[in-house]
Amino acid sequence: MNVNLPAISIIIPANNETDFIEACLQSLLDQDDTCACAEVIVSANACRDDTVAKAQAFQPRFAVRGWDLIVLDSPEPGKLGALNRAEAVTNGPALAFLDADVLCDAGMIGQLAKALATKEPRYATGTFTLQPARSFASRAYGRFWMELPFMKSAAVGAGLFAVNRAGRARWGTFPDIISDDTFVRLTFTPQERIQVPARYHWPLVEGFAALVRVRRRQNAGVEELQGLHPEIFVNEAKDNVSIAKLALRRPLAFGIYAAVQLIVRLQGPDKKWTRGR
The Cβ-side half-sphere exposure at 220, using a 13 Å CA radius, reads 17
- Over 50: is that where the pLDDT of 241 sits? yes
Mean pLDDT throughout 183-194? 97
C-alpha 45/C-alpha 29 separation (Å) is 23
127 vs 157: CA distance, rounded Å: 8
Contacts of 230 (CB under 8 A, 6+ apart): none
Ramachandran category for residue 186: left, alpha or beta (phi over 0 → left; psi -120 to 50 → alpha): alpha
Residue 221 has pLDDT above 70, yes or no: yes
CA dihedral 83, 89, 92, 93 (to 10 degrees): 70
Residue 1 pLDDT class (50, 70, 90 cuts) = very low
Residue 21 has pLDDT above 70, yes or no: yes
For residues 272 and 241, the model is more confident at 241
Average pLDDT over residues 166-193: 96
Residue 86 clears pLDDT 60, i.e. is over it: yes
pLDDT tens per residue, range 131-142: 999 999 999 999
Alpha-helical segments (H) within 30-128: 51-56, 59-65, 79-87, 108-115
For residue 240, the model assigns a pLDDT of 63
What's the rounded mean pLDDT across residues 95-123? Answer: 98
The radius of gyration of the chain's CA atoms, rounded to the nearest angstrom, is 18
Total-model pTM = 0.93
| Strands 193-202 vs 123-130: parallel, antiparallel or unpaired | parallel
- What are the pLDDT digits (tens) for 147-174? 988 888 889 999 999 999 999 999 999 9
